[in-house]
Amino acid sequence: MTTKELKEKYLSFFQKHDHQLIIGSSLKPENDPTVLFTTAGMHPLVPYLLGEKHPSGQRLTDIQKCIRTGDIDEVGDDWHLTFFEMLGNWSLGDYFKKEAITMSFQFLTQELNIPVTKLAFTCFEGDEEHNIPKDEESAEIWQSLGVSSLRISFLGKEDNWWGPAGQTGPCGPDTEMFYWVGSEPVPEKFDPSNKNWVEIWNDVFMQYNKTADGKYQELDKKNVDTGMGLERTVAVLSGMSSVYEIEPLSTIVLQVTSLVSDLELAPEFSSSIDLTDQAGVDVEKSIRIIADHLRAATFILAENIEPSNVEQGYVLRRLIRRAIRHGKKIGIEDNFTSKVVEVVIDKMGGFYKELRTHRDFITEQIAKEEEKFNNTLEKGLKEFAKLGKDKKISGQEIFKLFTTYGFPYEMTVELALENGLEVDMEAYEKEFIKHQELSRTASAGKFKGGLADQSVETTRLHTAAHLMLAALRQVLGDHVNQKGSNITADRLRYDFSHPEKLTDDQKQQVEDLVNEQIGKKAPVTIKEMTVEEAKESGAIGVFGDKYGEKVKVYTMGDFSKEICGGPHVQNTGELGHFRIKKEESSSSGVRRIKAVLE
């Protein structure tokens, strides 16, 4: 089975069961500061999971591209990836456990023709501390469909609980589906610790909303969120031993392999670090890491994100530089990253057209980052070789390697482990937070704050962002569009397209226009319409493949009309006084405003 075939089967099956196909969202989460990237299909749907009405209805299905760095140390094994595609189906207050499990079972056994004897399942064992019961209901539904009780295991929160995606938001117990990949006969009793059982699908039952104080509140309308890993499922159904054997990954791996000139350590690597066991270098794992990381970097670059030392750009830089280091370990010559990226674009740009649209930007940025890193890498490796005289590297030394030679701390940790050295991570983190406003948590993909909690404060600031965009366009011109936002209960951070610094007079004009609209106490109205109708009505939006057939258009008096998913106040008079605290550069051609409501 190919990835194309599985996509078609999945979407067709759920469309037959009255699910509307929606367009997958950007890798940059909109209005959700709890994560740096979209890590699951549920991120774009958070407002609807919390009660907002979705324009396409209560049953949805989609394909969502995702980035996860939490398991980056596992990448290179048979099953883990940084970038992956997730197939999903959704119920927003419509069906629940029985219907979801039944459809999952039918798809696996009837559409994919998997014998029930090769399947096993896990359910949630309950959480007494938070008064959440054991999920006997899901287990009983599986058994009613013909699943033996011996093939069902109950696991705790670490395994069978999903969410929230950030610090707060919708969450609940899940039931996971496993496929037997072993060559020996399938054991009668399911043992989740047996690595021959590979998870392929997950049905999440969103019964609760986790609040900022750590409590779990029952949702008025319960939802279903499911996710099937595309690459992993295709691999196991095709009898392959790893995700790197399927297309398009196999072609990307082949391109990396063709660049390996020598299976010994490259001279520029070994000259700085004395590794006596050169034969111990895992060439296959390095090749897989390079293929995975550069594929992920390609998709991140397609979002117009540039490598940097903060937030999304930091993750991008880390992936690119980690790939380059593994290239040097296995003898790949300099200036190879763009060759791999070209293959990613050619193989995946048919379905994800943004890759071809931004081809020049992607290849230029990846080549620029490789050249920048190569210019300092050899010196940095020599500096690293001087460290660890007492078998430990201090936090200050780790930080210097980062600021002077561009070594993400994760790279220093990897090098230290390879050389039997300890690292003082606690001291490093203090140093890093002090200088970069970026914690270790952020580098893995998360940092504190959250529009996902739908609080009064964040809702007010989200509404104010609409007024600010309209004011910016009035003051600066119609070329101004949103390029990203980060909204917490304390402040609004907003990125927008504009080539130069705002003057003090321009900032004052924007403030005055927003506060004028607040003073008018204009009603905030909502109307559902087609994308074409939204365009004709003059609504602001980044049109293209982003939206489904129907969208929500929010109007504030005669001043602002914008496509959005919510939430908003009912009247602009609820906002208070708007003030711009700071205006600065975000990236080339993009400015950033930080503002508050007082």
Binding site as annotated, residues for Zn(2+): 462, 466, 564, 568
Give the residue numbers of the binding site. 462, 466, 564, 568
From CA 223, how far away is CA 216, in angstroms rounded? 15
Q: Where are the beta strands (DSSP E) in 389-457?
A: 392-393, 422-423
- First-last CA distance in the chain: 57
Q: 189-194: which pairs have CB atoms within 8 A and are 24 or more residues apart? A: 189/150, 189/151, 190/120, 190/121, 190/150, 190/151, 190/152, 190/153, 191/153, 192/120, 192/122, 192/153, 192/155, 192/159
Structure token digits, residue 459? 């809702």
From CA 288, how far away is CA 425, in angstroms rounded? 27
Q: Do 112 and 237 contact (CB within 8 A), yes or no?
A: yes
Peptide bond into 55 cis (omega under 30): no
CA-closest candidate to residue 173, choices 215, 223, 108, 129:
223
Task: Return phi, psi of residue 546, to 5°.
Answer: -70, -35
From CA 379, how far away is CA 363, in angstroms rounded? 26
Q: Do 36 and 12 contact (CB within 8 A), yes or no?
A: no
- Sequence-ordered list of residues with C-beta below 8 angstroms from that of 358, at least 6 positions apart, any chain: 301, 302, 304
Bridge partner list, 429: none
SS3 of 247-274: the string is CCHHHHHHHHHHHECCCCCCHHHHCCCC
DSSP run (H or E) holding 205 = strand 197-210
From CA 262, how far away is CA 559, in angstroms rounded? 64
